[in-house]
Structure 1
Amino acid sequence: MAIDATSPYDHANIFAKILRGEIPNRTVYEDEWALAFHDINPAAPTHILIIPKGAYVSWEDFSARGSDAEIAGFVRAIGHVARSHDLVTPGYRLLANVGGHGGQEVPHLHVHLFGGRPLGPMLAR
């Protein structure tokens, strides 16, 4: 199901439930601003989801309503996770799907971090 990136935040989404501790996850990093955990259906040897702790639907929503501290903290968390998994030198990919055309399935901003092997072209042609 594709998400409208401008929809109101749905507090029943799976990532909101993970943040509230209602659904377990395999946490790899957590701080005041973000939570990072292994994807349950990995698409690469390393596949980690990084989510802000605030209730944001998409990058559009986050960039419009997030505080400077939240935005900086989230971006720093992404870098920390990449470094702590030794992905900087070999390289990695970040992916954030936004809205229906972007393929967003969960209405909570999240970034996929992929690594651990050559990932090939960005989009299938």
Structure 2
Amino acid sequence: MSLDGTYDDGNIFAKILRGEMPAAKVFEDDHVLAFMDVFPQAKGHTLVIPKHSHARNLLEEEPQVLAGLIQGVQRVAKAVRAALNPDGIVVTQFNGAPAGQTIYHLHFHIIPRWEGVAMGRHAEGGMADPDELKALAQQIAAKIA
């Protein structure tokens, strides 16, 4: 998909927001929902999405939505750090298929990194164990300030 197009209400993140699909939720407020990536690239890989948006990517989003979204990203990234004590954290966001975007609902990835541990490719290891994701979500949620 290119950078231009129509928002698809059937995308997986829209279904999670509507409660039609399960997610290991980490944090939720009026602006954002954070949950564990089911195809993690590292232990603790968390996604943060805007709750009230039909933007497919960063370029389509309104500045006022971005303000609340990036605050949520920072809040969750701090909790990931406090919960998992990584050596570093990747915060990334993709726009369009050539950039690596696979789900066309604006979202940020928070990926903890440890020295000497390679980051996996998305979906390389298959789908994560739901019970493991739930436990990680609870561990990170306990550190939300």
Common topology (TM > 0.5): yes
User: Displacement, 1:101?
Assistant: 1.2
Task: Give yes or no for contact 2:3–2:95 (8 Å, CA) kept in 1.
Answer: yes
Q: CA RMSD in A?
A: 2.0
Residue 56 of structure 2: aligned partner? 57
TM-score of the pair, normalised by structure 2 = 0.72
Structure 2 residue 107 is the aligned partner of structure 1 residue 110: yes
**Mapping 1:1-125, distance limit 5 Å:** 3-53=1-51, 54-62=53-61, 66-68=62-64, 70-86=65-81, 90-118=87-115
The percent of aligned pairs where both chains have the same amino acid is: 34
- Identify unmatched segments of 5+ residues in structure 2: 120-145
Q: Please tell me whether the aligned partners of residues 31 and 50 of structure 2 are also in contact (alpha carbons under 8 angstroms).
A: yes
TM-score, scaled relative to structure 1: 0.83
* Distance in structure 1 (CA, Å) of the matches to 2:23 and 2:16: 7
**Is contact 2:49-2:106 (8 Å) kept?**
yes
Q: Which has a greater percent of helix?
A: 2
Q: Which segments of 5 or more consecutive residues in structure 1 lack a partner in the other structure?
A: none
Deviation above 6 Å: which 4+ runs of structure 1?
none
- For residues 4-62 of structure 1, the C-alpha deviation after alignment (integer angstroms, 9 at most, x for no partner) is 22111111111000000000100001111111100001111120011111111001111
- Distance apart, 1:67 and its partner CA: 4.5
What is the aligned length?
115
Contact 1:45 1:117 in 2 (8 A): no
